[in-house]
């Protein structure tokens, strides 16, 4: 029998997400998929999985898991969550082998809102329209179209072990301060006067705690529209920033509606979607307008970061002697490794 990842506890909003359900926007079906695609891909890359494979998306609700029926190779990547294996702390981005009876606990930390738990192998799930991405509002994908909860067991096919001892992932590209988010203006920036575009870019905006997988709600000085706020509904890209009548911008995220009728002042560039998604409630952000060329260059840099395997570093262990560590010339690398969020 295949080993299983067993969910011992899960806070609200912990779901299974693959690379997204693409090709059905024309039927009103949003891709869903990871809130932080870069972190999702990093966790899979660390294990040698396909990049669009299914992972557990851990929300601020946190999760506690164990293995059943055999050991499981796991990788975790994302925000600065507090992670521990049988009580011993691990860095927020790490790879390990989880043995039956061991407990991996992932709890929210001082920064970051999403983390991705990938297994070496693949979760054995029935896809809906070609994807396992959970869209809870539609009730499909993942496990019965719902968030994970205590008692769920996820069968892992083609399971492989992870590193014998836990390792820190060396993924400096996941260090992304959320304070500045790059946007391309439009598609409906002409619904706003110049001073309102300037006010939008000056901010600052505070990320509210109301956000979920559908949208990030911002608080600040409301914007005004130059020619009303009703448009005949058109398509909505992930990262589109719509400004409804009351003037507070809403950034539409992975579970957004596929079409909408409010003017969209700007669109968060693809590489900064995860940066914004990782901002906890209360974080102050600003938007910076960039041209398409800069956005595409950032995408290219992201693709290059993920082109090769993800390096790993052993963890700092207090029971090593200084001589041992100096002899291995590891200290610099170890420190860099544990600073990865």
Binding site for other proteins (CB under 8 A): 22-29, 128-129, 137-140, 184, 186-188, 231-235, 237, 239-240, 257-260, 264, 267-270, 292, 295-296, 299-300, 303
Least distance in angstroms from the C-beta of 208 to other proteins: 21
Q: Which is nearer to other proteins, 67 or 251 (CB)?
A: 251
- In angstroms, what is the minimal distance from the CB of 240 to other proteins? 6
Say how far apart CA 119 and CA 293 lie, in whole Å: 36
CA distance 166 to 169: 10
Closer residue to other proteins, CB minimum distance, 126 or 319: 126
Kindly tell me which of 92 and 187 has the beta carbon lying closer to other proteins: 187
Q: Omega into 112 within 30° of 0, i.e. cis?
A: no
CB of 19 vs other proteins, minimal distance in Å: 12
3-state secondary structure the chain: CCCEEEEEEECCCCEEECCCCCCCHHHCCCCCCCCCHHHHHHHHHHHCCCCCCCEEEECCCCEEEEEECCCEEEEEEEEEEEEEECCEEECCCEEEEECECCCEEEEEEEEEEEEEEEECCEECCCCECCECCCECCCCECCECCECCCCCCEEEEECCCCCCCCCEEEECHHHCCCCCEEEEEECCCHHHCCHHHHHHHHHCCEEECCCCCCCEEEEECCCCCCCCCCCCCCEECCCCEEECCCCCCCEEECCCCCCEECCCEEEEECHHHHHHHHCCCCCCEEEEEECCHHHHHHHHHHHHHHCCCCCEEEECCCCCCCHHHHHHHCCHHHHHHHHHCC
Q: Which is nearer to other proteins, 193 or 231 (CB)?
A: 231
Token pair listed for 122: 């693949």
Closer to other proteins by Cβ: residue 286 or 299:
299
Our CB check for other proteins shows the closer of 202 and 297 to be 297
- Shortest distance in whole angstroms from residue 86 CB to other proteins: 41
Output the CA angle 263-133-306, nearest 5 degrees.
85
Nearest distance in Å: CB 235, other proteins:
3
Choose between 24 and 320: whose C-beta lies nearer to other proteins. 24
Q: How far is the CB of 88 from other proteins (least distance, A)?
A: 41
Closest approach of Cβ 249 to other proteins, in Å?
15
Cβ proximity to other proteins, 84 vs 258, nearer residue: 258
Least CB distance to other proteins at residue 288 (A):
14
Cβ nearer to other proteins, comparing 101 with 228:
228
Q: Quickly tell me which residue has 């207090």 as its tokens.
A: 318
Residue 301 CB, shortest distance to other proteins, in Å, is 11
């Amino acid at each position: 029998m295949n080993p299983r990842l067993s969910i011992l506890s899960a806070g609200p909003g912990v779901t299974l997400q693959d690379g997204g359900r693409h090709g059905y926007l024309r039927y009103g079906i949003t891709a869903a998929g990871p809130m932080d695609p870069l972190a999702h891909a990093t966790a899979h890359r660390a294990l040698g999985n396909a990049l669009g494979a299914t992972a557990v998306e851990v929300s601020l609700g946190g999760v506690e898991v164990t293995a059943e029926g055999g050991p499981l190779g796991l990788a975790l990547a994302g925000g600065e969550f507090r992670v521990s294996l049988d009580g011993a702390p691990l860095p927020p981005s790490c790879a390990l082998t989880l043995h039956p009876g061991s407990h991996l606990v992932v709890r929210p930390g001082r920064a970051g809102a999403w983390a991705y738990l990938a297994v070496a192998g693949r979760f054995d799930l029935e896809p809906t329209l070609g994807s396992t991405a959970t869209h809870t509002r539609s009730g499909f994908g993942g496990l019965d179209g719902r968030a994970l909860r205590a008692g769920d067991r996820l069968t892992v096919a083609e399971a492989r072990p992870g590193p014998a001892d836990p390792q820190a992932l060396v993924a400096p590209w996941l260090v992304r301060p959320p304070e500045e988010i790059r946007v391309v203006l439009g598609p409906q920036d002409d619904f706003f006067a110049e001073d309102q575009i300037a006010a939008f870019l000056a901010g600052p905006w505070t990320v509210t705690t109301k956000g979920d997988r559908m949208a990030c709600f911002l608080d600040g000085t409301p914007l005004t529209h130059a020619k009303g706020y009703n448009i005949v509904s058109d398509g909505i890209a992930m990262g589109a920033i719509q400004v409804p009548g009351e003037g507070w911008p809403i950034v539409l995220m992975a579970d957004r509606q596929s079409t909408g009728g409010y003017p969209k002042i700007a669109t968060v560039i693809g590489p900064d979607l995860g940066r914004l998604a990782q901002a906890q409630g209360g974080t102050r952000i600003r938007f910076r307008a960039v041209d398409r060329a800069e956005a595409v260059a950032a995408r290219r840099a992201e693709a290059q970061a993920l082109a090769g395997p993800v390096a790993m570093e052993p963890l700092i262990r207090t029971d090593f002697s200084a001589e041992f560590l100096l002899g291995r010339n590891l200290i610099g690398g170890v420190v860099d490794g544990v600073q990865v969020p």
